[in-house]
Structure 1
């Protein structure tokens, strides 16, 4: 993809914030500003890993000569569904200490940003439809995933396992759900793991395809949670 746009991502974000500031209260606007700050941080830090060789070379050259980062080099065509999923589904969960309330704000802001970019001509219709659908889903799923993370951790601490015959420490994809029961697939080995016993109030909140970091211990024929990390509302491969 060639860098031929007239405005950079950073300039587009600034235009977006100026318009929002004019219509929002200072309290609500601060949530918009904070969200865009984190989105820029994500793009500058992680999006370069997915550039093609030509764009990667351009970014490296401008960074070395002018200290320019991703958002100062590339235009809005470099924002799409994959960037939104990485930001909302992974970065905001794993790299930012965020409350459920702020995650809801982030979802609202990103939905507004995507619609605004389409209306301003910064995003084509096809990309807008795909990206908008992803944002709508993750807007709902992010706070739920964060709550599951907290509940899983509390459950593990409150229900220690005295002994186990086997231990697994990995990221796991949820492959099956029944009341009080979960089945997983190991990200590292591809091994199917289950059943894993959890409270029904936790299993009822989970969705197939979500990813969670777990330390599991086998006790008899079932697995139990020894330690729990973040739940991501998407497949996580990196």
Structure 2
């Protein structure tokens, strides 16, 4: 891959077992970094391979979520997508830049389209609420696997709403695991799952490939697990709404 530049735009701290240490300890935490990679060509599965390579190289102490985009397409993105890239290029921590091909901001003093952001938030959260309501109201009339698929769609809609509202970013990878990790760079968002055995199981259920509905026996999943997953997803939705409402009020004052 012909990498033109790499920017870091955030990080989270990784404590043992996913929990922050309350008392003094000599053990230093690990870190998860969020990186924007600008490249000159597309390579299949490059993001997953790079993320796995870094995880292995540092024995899981340092991990990354990578946003990979071809430089030549940046100016063809929507206005708010350009705003995101422009902000990272202007203010992010530059980790690497090809010395022969320096990167410059797309525009100077670029202004965000707040009206679009408010409308996008409204529609994504409306869709998420509808998926959650259907999952809850029809759970006794449908297989647990169908309920899990509805919850997956709800969570993806919530994360897309959060990423647009707080970052003006629309992901080009729709893996649920990838989106869950990316959502953690949003200020104030608590992870949907912790590292407990039960939560790892629920994360796996939520992240399952929705295409399995075409092939898998629909009666194999547990209704009880789906109920627990619904509760977590509903709490995540409520948290997102609270944080989103505060952010929307701040944005409204800028109009």
TM-score calculated relative to the size of structure 2: 0.25
TM-score calculated relative to the size of structure 1: 0.26
